[in-house]
Amino acid sequence: MAVAPEDPARLGELAELADLADLAAEVTACRRCPRLVEWREEAAAKPPARFARQQYWARPLPGFGDPEARVLVLGLAPAAHGGNRTGRLFTGDRSGDFLFASLHRTGFANQATSAAIDDGLSLSDLYIAAVVRCAPPDNKPTPAERANCLPYLVRELCLLVRVRVVIALGSFAWDGAIRAFRDLGFAAAPKPTFRHLAETRIGPFVLLGSYHPSQQNTFTGRLTPPMLDAAMVRAHELADVAEPADPDTRRFGAPHSP
């Protein structure tokens, strides 16, 4: 659709979308971490029987969702036979089933499932990203791998100028968010402690903690649907009352590609 020259707001919106698309292209082409490249490709070459005939994505995963989002959900990394297979974070695995059911119940998603990249899922006021963009062995990235990926999150936070609330799914995401805020110039001292429904303001952001919807947590009852729903409802509330961020400040000092 053509944009009228007299519509600068819409032109600016399209420019932001282009920037996110450019960043996504950089992410998906990344090969900076040899261990992660080997693992994601090995998972694709040797899938479990239930996925034996499927074509794996087997590349890093960019964030996705509403570019006008005020809430960002931050995970640890893609699953080897979830996002690494489907090409979208939290898609095609049990953690995603649990997460998107909650997002649907709380008004962030148009449907309760996320099975494939073309399944019609749409997010409203919410964006999903991860600290590490490739599936790591045993879900345990190394500090160096985290450092290689972190600039992608920092740049996403610069581009998502309306984000006010970051929901960290687990302590690894909590720590990654704090590191990303620090790289944007917003330090937290002393470092806030992670727990479910913990809240802390860091610069223009409110960081909100939630246990990760891993099977280890959901099967044991450490994280229940009402508990995750409570985090999402709280994110709605925080986004409504948070002070506007200064987009120019948010962009200042953003790193270049890793």
Residue 124 CB coordination number (10 Å): 14
Does the structure show a pLDDT above 80 at 135? yes
**Quick check: is 113 in a domain?**
yes
Q: Provide the number of structural domains found in the chain.
A: 1
- Domain hosting 196: range is 8-251
For residue 31, the domain's CATH number is 3.40.470.10
The pLDDT assigned to 15 comes to 54
**Quick check: is 2 in a domain?**
no
**Quick check: is 1 in a domain?**
no
Does the structure show a pLDDT above 50 at 147? yes
**Quick check: is 92 in a domain?**
yes
Does the structure show a pLDDT above 60 at 8? no
Does the structure show a pLDDT above 50 at 17? yes
Does the structure show a pLDDT above 80 at 7? no
**Quick check: is 258 in a domain?**
no
**Quick check: is 125 in a domain?**
yes
Share of the chain above pLDDT 70, in %: 87
pLDDT (tens digit, 9 = 90+) per residue, 78-119? 999 999 999 999 999 999 999 999 999 999 999 999 999 999
Residue 96 Cα distances to 24, 81, 91, 132, 213, angstroms:
20, 12, 5, 16, 8
pLDDT (tens digit, 9 = 90+) per residue, 165-200? 999 999 999 999 999 999 999 999 899 999 999 999
The pLDDT assigned to 242 comes to 73
The pLDDT assigned to 16 comes to 59
For 200, the 3-state DSSP assignment is strand
**Quick check: is 257 in a domain?**
no
Q: Average pLDDT, whole number, for the chain?
A: 90
> Can you read off the two tokens belonging to residue 69?
């989002």
Q: What is the pTM of this model?
A: 0.89
Q: Pick the residue with more confidence: 4 or 29?
A: 29
pLDDT (tens digit, 9 = 90+) per residue, 24-78? 999 999 999 999 999 999 999 999 999 999 999 999 999 999 999 999 999 999 9
Please give the biggest Cα pair distance in the chain.
57
pLDDT (tens digit, 9 = 90+) per residue, 234-257? 999 999 987 555 545 454 444 444
> Can you read off the two tokens belonging to residue 224?
């229940």
DSSP-assigned letters across all residues of 135-192: PPGGG---HHHHHHHHHHHHHHHHH-TT--EEEEESHHHHHHHHHHHHHTT---SSPP
